[in-house]
Every structure is written in structure tokens, then in C-alpha cells.
Amino acid sequence: MRTQVVIIGGGPSGLLLSQLLHVRGIDSIVLERKTRDYVLSRIRAGVLERGLLELMRKAGAAARLEREGLPHDGALLSYGDEMFRIDFKRLTGTSVIVYGQTEVTRDLYDAREAAGGRTEFNVDDVEIHDTNRDRPYVTYRVGSEPRRIDCDFVAGCDGFHGVSRKTIPDGVRKEYERVYPFGWLGVLSETPPVNHELIYATSSRGFALCSMRNPMLSRYYVQCPATDRVEAWSDSAFWDELRRRIPADQAEKLVTGPSIEKSIAPLRSFVCEPMRWGRLFLCGDAAHIVPPTGAKGLNTAASDVHYLYNALRQYYEERDSSGIERYSERALARVWKVERFSWWFSSLMHHFPEQTEFDHKIQTAELEFLRSNEDSQRAMATNYVGLPY
């Protein structure tokens, strides 16, 4: 087989790239380790920046998102029983869209199938060859059948544990990481959200987040030790803990119900440099991870796709390789700014085991400064709604 671009990974970043390339007449094949149903069973955050919305429009996959997505013009921050609002729309002129990542992925799969794009599922033993030469190729296996695809370029959209990043030689690849000593225990419930906007809360007991997927599907989180097991948390224990961490007036309005999904997500900050090795490009979690505070994971993957899509389009349509040459530089410049924001917001709202009373007082002082200072609010809002590409 031959194609122009092999895309490893059938998650949202790989699918988005494939659809954008298809619109420009650039052929690609997507390789996915699992099945479509498995990919769509994964529950992920769903706060979308304006840039991602524009890319979905370009990919011809934004109709349901625009119809069902919930525009959010602001978010609420609380500490103890104190709560204030960051007005994104007033401070930046734009907003974000609440729409589940699972639904983004579903829309992209539907668009790819409608376009007749090729996706191979259940692939194993993927290996990437000769990306530092002019004729790279990818080998893999489906069942007992070995297969090979020759191509011009390879896009590694296969996540943190995928093969793409490891293809970059150890002597070239440099990795930066911070692992946080806690996780997020998340519950999905068929209940109305406690508030029509997201609440990021901190208290003496730790962090909590009140979010939603739609008007009758809520997503809630509480900070928990990294060593906790989800089986140790009953629904009633989760709801009791959440009530203790959000303002009393919000706790009184909280509607609880049986969880339909419960999981613990670890928190990590991670960046790989470079994001390009010859004709191999890393996108999304294959190159970087952010803690979920501020919902930057999918959005930062989308910014990678933006840079890579335009670089490939420029190469095929204009025979200009400058975008390819500068892909890693451009993507990483934005990635590190997003890493900074996610680290700052996580550090502001979470409790760390080694913190002293002085540290907690500093966190409170910073929240009170943010509450009272419009310039500080504008800086946060600018990062939250999405830095420009």
C-alpha cells in the first residue's frame, strides 16, 4: 500500500488531521490499535477553545457541535465559601464551548466514514521506518497478517504510550516531566449540573471541579491521593466529599444520583523535544501532557494539528517545505505557554502534601488578588479561552 500521510492513532487529533488533509485532497490512512467502539468509550474533558471549533468547521465536522455545544462566557472560582467569576467574553471578546471529547471523536469518525477515508483498526506491532530519509514506511500487523504502507510523512498521534515518540533516537529526544502526587477522582452522573458554568473550587480539603456534558449529564471531580483506588470510593462517599469542597450555597443545590462512570486520572506535566524527526511528526499526547486543570489537553493537540496540517498543505500545494522545517519550533512555542498555564492553575487550586500553612496563605492571597485585579483576570481568561495559533 501507499499513501501520502500515515497517521498513527485514531483519536481526535489523528482524525482531525486526516479530515483536514482530505478536504485539501491529501491522502492519508489512519492506524488505530483498538476498535472504534473502544475509542468512543473513553470519557474525556470537553471544554473546547475557539481554535478547535474553527478547525472542526474546516474539517466539515462541526454541525452537531455548533447545534448541541454549550457556549460558556465565563467560569467560577471558589475558595472556601468565597466565589467569584472570570468573565471570558467581557475580558477577551470570546468564549469556550462545552462539548464532550467523545462527541468530537464521534463526529470526526462519522465525517471520515462519509468521506470514504481509510482507517485500519486492531493494528499491532506498529513500527516506523526510515523517517530520516525521503521514503519512510510503516509496518504493522492485523491479526496474523503483516502489512506495510509506504508514505511521504508519518504523523504520530498515538498518545503518551504509543510508538511514535520512542522512534525518535534517545540521543535526540529530550523529555521534561513533572508527576503530581495526586489524581482526580471523576464521576459522571445523569443529573443536572449544580451550576450553568464550571466551578473550580479549592478548600482546606483540596480541589474539586463541577462540570457538565449537557443539561442532564454532569461531570464532577475531587482531588485524591495518587495511591487511591476507585473501588474504595462509594457514590455516597464521593458526593459527601464534593459537598465539603464547594461553597455551601452550591452544595445545597447539588443534585446527586448513581454514577454511570467513575475513574481516577493521574496528573502529569510532560513535554518531548523535538516534535519532529525527519518525516515523523508528533501530535498531542505523543509529545506533551498537561494536568486537566483548565482543559488544555485536546485543545493543545488541536494546535499541533493546525501547525502540521498547514505545513503539509504548504508542502503539497506550494512545494514549500518551510512549514515542515519549522513545525517543531512553532508547536513547542505554544505548548510551553500552555504547560505554564496548566501548571500555574493546578498549583493555585490544589493542595500538595509538602505545603505549609504559609503556602496555603499564599494561595489564598493569590486568589484574592485574582478576584480584585482585572489585569490578572484578563491574563487568565486569555489563556483559558485559548492562545492564538
Catalytic residue among 22, 262, 288, 296: 296
Q: Give residues with Cβ within 8 angstroms of 384, minimum separation 6.
A: 75, 86, 88, 96, 294, 341
pLDDT reported for residue 46: 86
Q: How far is CA 133 from CA 128, 277, 281, in A?
A: 12, 10, 14
Strand order across the beta sheet in which 288-289 lies: 82-87, 74-79, 199-203, 206-214, 217-225, 174-189, 259-273, 288-289
pLDDT reported for residue 42: 79
Burial string for 308-347 (b: 16+ CB within 10 Å, else e) reads bbbbbbebbeeeeeebbeebbebbbebbeebbebbbbbbe
Establish whether 351 is a catalytic residue.
Answer: no
pLDDT in tens, 114-163: 999 999 999 999 999 999 999 999 999 999 999 999 999 999 999 999 99
The domains found in the chain, sorted by start residue, are 5-72+97-177+268-345 (3.50.50.60)
Backbone dihedral angles phi then psi of residue 167, each to the nearest 5 degrees: -70, -25
pLDDT reported for residue 45: 67
Helical segments of 201-256, H only: 235-245, 248-253
Catalytic residue among 137, 193, 292, 327: 292
Establish whether 292 is a catalytic residue.
Answer: yes
Angle between helix 297-318 and helix 327-349 axes, rounded to 10 deg? 170
Amino acid code (one letter) for 314: Q
- Stretches where the chain sits below pLDDT 70 are 45
pLDDT in tens, 260-273: 999 999 999 999 99
Establish whether 58 is a catalytic residue.
Answer: no
Establish whether 389 is a catalytic residue.
Answer: no
Catalytic residue among 22, 72, 288, 350: 72
Alpha-carbon distance of 140 to 166, in angstroms, equals 16
Establish whether 176 is a catalytic residue.
Answer: no
Is the whole-model pTM more than 0.85? yes
Catalytic residue among 99, 200, 220, 307: 200
